[in-house]
């Protein structure tokens, strides 16, 4: 086999291990999800070695999708960290063999505190499985490792089971993109979902004029505004909107007579408007639905506060 073929075979082995999980998912999975949903405290994930690394990722995924979670090394519990756990919590304990000594010494402390345990192991007859409130079987037929020793397929299967828990919990909670943004405020998605019109709108030197303004004058004001539009106002309130496209079509229609017409002859009298609090994602939806490149930001009494264009939304 070539080097690449070795790599391909490893991926195939791990993919097969994931598919093997499906028939192993039984009522224990449903009950584990319900247990976490009813949890009034935190989900504490624990494991040793490679299982610990996988556990840390599962805890991070749960936390970012609406389930307060953290990872703890069972070795640290012996040195005082048990105090972070309460009877309102749920423990997810991970061990491929289900017989890991450090983890098994941790289990009696959890049981004494009457904290329910969701065990994840590749051995349904292990001590971990025996003492778990619910046991999730993540056994694999073989590791991707050619020696069948290094945790490869087994860690992938465990990680996938953790993701399955997180996704099921998201569905049960009706977890929305806005919720995800609150847990990821620094990411691109978070910015888009949390940013409002007020954060990105242009509010100074806006091109405004009266409806009776001649189009020749309006062209100059629209050009100076560099927004591709102009807003018609009456008594400080929005009366209409003209765009570069409106002006171009008017020139084609009226030609030399164009300069005898006013803004009111071509303006859109009910332009699309949003409030200061409107999210960027909603503004993008409006622009896409109505095939426009800008929206007006208005007050409750229909006064112009700013303009958000397509480029302002590209954060």
Supply the mean pLDDT for the chain.
90
Same domain, 12 and 110: yes
Banded model confidence at residue 189, pLDDT cuts 50, 70, 90 = low
Sequence-ordered list of residues with C-beta below 8 angstroms from that of 297, at least 6 positions apart, any chain? 197, 198, 201, 203, 273, 274, 275, 276, 278, 304, 305, 306, 307, 308
308 & 163 share domain: no
Instruction: Examine the domain organization and report whether 133 and 209 are in the same domain.
Output: no
Question: Which of 141, 138, 140, 85 lies closest to 115 in space, CA to CA?
Answer: 85
Per-residue confidence band for 293, with pLDDT thresholds at 50, 70 and 90: very high
Residue 230 lies inside a defined structural domain of this protein? yes
Within a domain: 204: yes
* Mean pLDDT of all residues in 110-138: 94
For residue 174, the model assigns a pLDDT of 86
Helices (H), 22-136: 27-37, 50-64, 74-77, 101-112, 127-131
**56-66: b or e for each residue (b if 16 or more CB lie within 10 Å)?**
bbbbbbbbebb
Q: Find out whether 166 and 62 touch, Cβ atoms under 8 Å.
A: yes
CA 99 – CA 96 distance, rounded (Å): 8
Task: Over range 37-41, report the average pLDDT.
Answer: 93
171 and 250 belong to one structural domain? no
* Domain CATH code at residue 259: 3.10.580.10
Dihedral over alpha carbons 166, 172, 173, 175 (to 10 degrees)? 60
Residues 39 and 137 both lie in one domain: yes
* Same-domain check for residues 19 and 114: yes
| The pairing of beta strand 134-137 with beta strand 273-274 | unpaired
Is the predicted pLDDT of residue 30 greater than 90, yes or no? yes
* Domain CATH number, residue 142: 3.40.50.10490
- Is 248 inside any structural domain? yes
- Structural domain including 221 reads 197-313
Q: Quick one: average pLDDT of 180-193?
A: 60
122 within domain boundaries = yes
149 in any annotated domain = yes
Report yes or no on 192 lying in a domain. Answer: no
Q: Are 169 and 284 members of one domain?
A: no
Q: Residue 107 falls within a domain, yes or no?
A: yes
- Name the DSSP letter for residue 23: G
Q: At which of 141, 175, 209 does a domain end? A: 175
Q: How far is CA 164 from the centre of its chain?
A: 16
Same-domain check for residues 10 and 44: yes
Please identify, among 175, 206, 225, the residue that sits at the C-terminal boundary of a domain.
Answer: 175
0.85 exceeded by the pTM? no
Is residue 313 very low, low, confident or very high in pLDDT (cuts 50, 70, 90)?
confident
In this structure, are 146 and 211 located in the same domain?
no
Do residues 270 and 309 both lie within one domain? yes
Domain count for the chain:
2
Per-residue model confidence (pLDDT) at position 315: 60
Q: For position 192, what pLDDT does the model report?
A: 66
Q: Are residues 147 and 225 in the same domain?
A: no
Percent of the chain surpassing pLDDT 70: 92
Same domain, 164 and 53: yes
pLDDT at residue 80 greater than cutoff 60: no
Decide if 191 is inside a domain. no
Q: Is the separation of the CB atoms in 24 and 161 below 8 Å?
A: no
* Element holding 167 (H helix, E strand): helix 153-173
């Amino acid at each position: 086999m070539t080097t690449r073929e070795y790599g391909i075979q490893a991926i195939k082995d791990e993919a097969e291990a994931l598919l093997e999980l499906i028939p192993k998912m039984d009522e224990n999975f449903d009950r584990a999800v319900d247990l976490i949903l009813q949890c009034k405290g935190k989900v504490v994930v624990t494991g040793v070695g490679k299982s610990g690394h996988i556990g840390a990722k599962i805890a991070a995924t749960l936390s970012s999708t609406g389930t307060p979670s953290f990872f703890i090394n069972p070795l640290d519990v012996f040195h005082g960290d048990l105090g972070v756990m309460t009877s309102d919590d749920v423990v997810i304990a991970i061990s491929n063999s289900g017989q890991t000594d450090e983890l098994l010494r941790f289990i009696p402390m959890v049981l004494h505190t009457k904290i329910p345990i969701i065990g994840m192991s590749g051995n349904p007859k292990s001590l971990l499985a025996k003492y778990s409130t619910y046991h999730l079987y993540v056994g694999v037929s073989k590791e991707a490792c050619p020696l069948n020793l290094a945790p490869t397929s087994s860690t992938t299967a465990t990680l996938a089971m953790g993701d399955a828990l997180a996704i099921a919990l998201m569905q049960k909670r009706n977890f929305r993109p806005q919720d995800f943004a609150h847990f990821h405020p620094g990411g691109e998605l978070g910015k888009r979902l949390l940013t409002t019109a007020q954060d990105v709108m242009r509010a100074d030197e806006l091109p405004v004029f009266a409806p009776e303004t001649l189009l020749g004058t309006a062209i100059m004001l629209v050009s100076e505004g560099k927004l591709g539009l102009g807003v018609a106002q009456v008594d400080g309130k929005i009366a209409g909107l003209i765009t570069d496209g409106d002006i171009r079509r008017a020139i084609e229609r009226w030609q030399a007579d164009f300069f005898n017409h006013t803004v009111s002859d071509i303006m859109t009298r009910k332009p699309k408007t949003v409030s200061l609090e409107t999210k960027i994602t909603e503004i993008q939806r409006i622009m896409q639905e109505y095939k426009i490149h800008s929206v007006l930001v208005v007050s409750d009494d229909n006064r112009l506060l700013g303009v958000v264009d397509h480029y302002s939304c590209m954060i």
